[in-house]
Copies of this chain bind each other. A is one copy, B any other.
Amino acid sequence: MTAGLTIDQLAEKHSATLDTALDVIRTRAYWSPHPEHPKAYGPDQDGGLDAAAGQAAFDALRDRRFELDQPGTDGWTGSEVSPYGPRLGIEYPHADLSVLLPAMRSAMRPWRDAGPRHRALVCLEILKRISARTHEMAHAVMHTSGQAFMMAFQAGGPHAQDRGLEAVAYAYAAQAEAERTAEWVKPQGKRDPLKLAKEFTAVPRGIALVIGCNTFPTWNGYPGLFASLATGNPVLVKPHPRAVLPLALTVRVAREVLREAGFSPDLVALAAERDGEGIAKSLAVHPDVRIIDYTGSTAFGDWLETNARQAQVFTEKAGVNTVVLDSTDDYKGMLSNLAFSLSLYSGQMCTTPQNLLIPRGGIGTDAGHKTYDEVVADLAEAVGKLLGDDARANALLGAIVNDQVKERIEAAGRLGEVALASRAVANPDFPDATVRTPVIVKLDGAKPDAEAAYFSECFGPVSFAVAVDSTAEAVELLRRTVREKGAMTVGAYTASAEAERLIEEACLEECAQLSLNLTGGVYVNQTAAFSDYHGSGGNPAANAALCDAAFVASRFRTVEVRRQA
C-alpha cells in the first residue's frame, strides 16, 4: 500500500458534505454539491477537466482497450456503437468469474472493519473524482444512451452523482442509527444487577450485482452501487452491452480511490460481457451474489424477483405513466410544460408521460373551455413549436437509442388517429444519428381495442391522448393503470379542489408519485435527489424507491457480540 488517503484526510475533505447530505435527506430541501453548469468544471478542481479536456479524455478512450487491472481477465470484449453513429471501438476486460468473485469476497473483511463512516468517506471521494471528470462522462453517456450532450452532462453527471451521494447518506444513517457498543445493566432488586458488554457490527451481505441499463447507465446505476458499497459489500457492475463506458469509467475511479485509501480495488469490478453471453442470468443466481440492483424490462425484473432467491433484489421495471387533464388556470403553461416532458430525450425516460387522459367533453381553462380535439391539437402545436428549430430539437431530443424504439414510432400511426406525426430531424454533427420528434395518437378510451395500445408500455416518443367520459373516469383508469401496469410518475392538471382530492387519493392508495399543475421549469419526468423519491416501490413499476431507508436497510445486517461484563 502507498501512504495514500487516510481517514483523517477523507474526513477533512468530505465530512461537511456528508453532514449536509444527512440533513437534506431529512428536510427534503433543495441541495446539490455537484454543479449543473459545464463551465463550473475545470482545472481549479483537483483532477478537474474542462470542456476541452473532457472531450480530449473521451477521444483518448476510443479505439483501444480500457484497462482496469482486475484479477481474472480472460479476454477482451466490447461492441458499443453510439446512437449518434460512430463505433466507439473500446474493448473491456472480460472477467473469469471463478477468479474475480473470490477476489472480491476476499476484499470484504477490511472494508467491513473500516466501519460505516470510513466507508462513507471513501464513497464520497469516489464521487468527487467522478464529478471532476464530468465532461468526459458526459460524452460517454451521450454516446451510449443517445442523450443530447447537455442532458448527458447533467443527468449522467451531477444528477447521477447526487443520487449516489444520497444513497451513501442513507446507508450511513441506517448503519449509524444505533450505538456500536452498549453497557447493558439490568436491575435485579436487592441482588447485583445483570451486566453485559455489547458490541454491534454492521456486516455486509456479500457480493452486490448492479445490472445497468442502456438509457441511464450512471443515474440508474449509482444508487445501488453506492448503497451496497457504503454498507460494506463488494460491487460487481454488469453494464448493458450498449452502455459499458460510463460504468467502466466509474469502476476505474472507484478502484483507484479504494487502492489509495488502503483497501482492495476489487471491492468494485466490472463484468463486461460478450455478445449474447447473457451473464446477468447466471450471476443473478450465483450463491455469492447477495444483492441485485436492476433497471430494465419487466420480464427480466420479474424473473430476478422470482428466481434470485439468495439475494435482496431491487428492481425498476416498465410502467405506464399517466397525466390526468381535468382543468387548468394556466393553459399555455400546461401545454408548454407537457410538450417539453414528451420531447425530452425523445420520451426515452422511465418517467415520461405516456397516457394523457382528457375528458371527451373538454376541459375548463383560463383561456376558455377547450374541447378534447382542441386540447390535443394545441398540445401537438406546442410540441411542434418547441421542436420547430432543428438545432433546438437536436439539443432536446438526443438520438433514438435502438431500433425497437424506432419501430415503435413507426408503428404508432397504425394505433389510432395521429394528432402529431413524428418528424425525422437531421443532426449536422452526426449524420448517422436517428433523431425523431414525438408522435401523439388519439384514442377513444371507451373502445376496447384502444386499450390494447394504451394499457401497456410503449417505450419511446409515443403518447396517447385518451378520450375519457369524465375526470372521475380518468381517475378510475389512472388507478387501474397504476395497479396493474405500474407507474414511475403521475401528473395531473386541475383547478378543481374536488378533482385534486380524487387524484391525490388515487395516488396515495395506488402508491404513485404525483406532480400537480406543473407549468414552469420543473417537469414530471424529473426528480431531484435528496428531495424527490424516484418511484414509490409500491406499484408494479418498481419494487424500490430512490432513495429511502428501505433501499439500504437490508443491504447489511447487524451482528451483536455480547459478553458478561
Contacts and interface: CB of A to CB of B under 8 A. Distances in A.
Q: How many copies does the complex hold?
A: 2
Interface stretch (A13-21, A236-244, A341-349, A526-534): A526-534
A119 interface: no
A184 B531 contact: yes
Nearest to A550: B553
B508 A27 contact: no
A563 B398 CA distance: 28
A109 B505 CA distance: 9
B514 A559 contact: yes
A517 interface: yes
A369 to B, nearest CB: 22
Contact of A521 (B177, B194, B516, B561): B194
Contacts of A427: none
A562 interface: yes
Contacts of A178: 25-28
A402 interface: no
Interface stretch (A63-71, A94-102, A198-206, A409-417): A198-206
A28 B559 contact: no
B550 A185 contact: no
Interface residues of A, number: 67
Contacts of A200: 28, 533
A548 interface: yes
Interface in A508-523: 508-509, 511-522
Contacts of A512: 559
A30 interface: yes
B30 A562 contact: no
B549 A174 contact: yes
Contact of A559 (B203, B507, B550, B554): B507
The main secondary structure of chain A at its interface with chain B is mixed
A286 interface: no
B538 A560 contact: no
Interface string A198-216: 1011010100000000000
B538 A203 contact: yes
A198 B522 contact: no
Interface in A63-86: none
Interface string A159-183: 0000000000000011001110011
14 contacts: A26-B177, A27-B178, A28-B178, A28-B200, A30-B184, A194-B521, A203-B509, A511-B559, A522-B562, A533-B560, A537-B554, A550-B550, A550-B553, A554-B554
A557 interface: yes
B182 A517 contact: no
A539 to B, nearest CB: 9
A545 interface: yes
Contacts of A259: none
Nearest to A520: B564
Contact of A186 (B30, B186, B309): B30
